Amino acid sequence: AQKITQTQPGMFVQEKEAVTLDCTYDTSDPSYGLFWYKQPSSGEMIFLIYQGSYDQQNATEGRYSLNFQKARKSANLVISASQLGDSAMYFCATVAFYNTDKLIFGTGTRLQVFP
Amino acid sequence: DTEVTQTPKHLVMGMTNKKSLKCEQHMGHRAMYWYKQKAKKPPELMFVYSYEKLSINESVPSRFSPECPNSSLLNLHLHALQPEDSALYLCASSQEPGQGADTQYFGPGTRLTVL
């Protein structure tokens, strides 16, 4: 079985600063993917970034990067140069390659960016 | 274009009503999903359609009835709901089920209130 743990219920960051949102995972599957989604108060889940378990390099997408430490089973999201529009709920999620239809979410971290 | 559309955006219904939620994608994706999300919780998977066939039903009560008329459309028929069914219902789609970690793209959701 897979499990995602997000230990930070809430985080605050000042505009233009960088912030790291923590995510640890537990899986017995040798092949898996890790995702981060952003959910603003409007409700839509917005895909941000993906990391495969066999990827050697950390994934980056614009201001988002994923700090993947396989041995520690962590997949932290780093947001650089925070903007007010980054205020939202952030979910880490995982899926096993053998069972790609089931996305397992963490409990989420609410990020608030202040001026 | 990674757009998934959902209608209606908001729905209020009585416990004796019958209503339907609609989801549409034109990305050629072959897997479609329904999730239920309660306030301040992560999404919970309800149903998965893979190549227009129901592949996963997460023990959802029969008052929720999914339908996939074609590869672009997914409906969720609602009947005799309970107040505890009030939630945000999210639809998602992904390109190729069973082909490694497949990114799921979400729609904006339908906020359902059952009176």
pLDDT tens string A65-114 = 999 999 999 999 999 999 999 999 999 999 988 776 789 999 999 999 99
DSSP state of B88: E
Residues of B within 8 A of A106 (CB-CB) are 42
pLDDT on residue B6: 97
pLDDT on residue B64: 98
Query: For residue B83, is the peptide bond before it cis, meaning its omega torsion is within 30 degrees of 0?
Result: no
pLDDT on residue A60: 97
Q: What is the pLDDT of residues A14-28, one digit of tens each?
A: 999 999 999 999 998
- CB atoms inside a 10 Å sphere around CB A85: 9
User: CB of A9 within 8 A of CB of A91?
Assistant: no
From B2, B42, B56, residue closest to A101, measured CB to CB: B56
Which of A90, A62, A97 lies closest to A76 in space, CA to CA? Answer: A90
Give the minimum alpha-carbon distance from A67 to chain B in angstroms, rounded to a whole number: 18
Cα B37 to Cα A45: distance, rounded to the nearest angstrom: 11
Cα A19 to Cα B110: distance, rounded to the nearest angstrom: 31
List the pLDDT tens digit at each of the 115 positions of chain B.
569 999 999 999 999 999 999 999 999 999 999 999 999 999 999 999 999 999 999 999 999 999 999 999 999 999 999 999 999 999 999 998 877 678 999 999 999 999 9
pLDDT on residue B101: 74
Contact B101 A100 (CB under 8 A): yes
Contact A105 B104 (CB under 8 A): no
- CB atoms inside a 10 Å sphere around CB A24: 17
pLDDT on residue A30: 87
Residues of B within 8 A of A31 (CB-CB) are 100
- CB atoms inside a 10 Å sphere around CB A7: 10
Residues of B within 8 A of A105 (CB-CB) are 42-43
pLDDT on residue A2: 87
Give the minimum alpha-carbon distance from A18 to chain B in angstroms, rounded to a whole number: 25
DSSP state of A9: S
In this structure, which amino acid lies at residue B25?
Answer: Q
Q: Count how many Cα atoms sit within 13 Å of the Cα of residue B89 in the half-sphere of its side chain.
A: 31
Q: How many CB pairs under 8 A join A and B?
A: 65
| Mean pLDDT confidence for A1-24 | 96
pLDDT on residue B2: 63
Residues of A within 8 A of B51 (CB-CB) are none
Contacts for A47-56: CB closer than 8 Å, 24+ residues apart: A47/B2, A47/B103, A47/B104, A47/B105, A47/B106, A48/A77, A48/A90, A49/A77, A50/B101, A50/B103, A51/A75, A52/B100, A52/B101, A53/A97
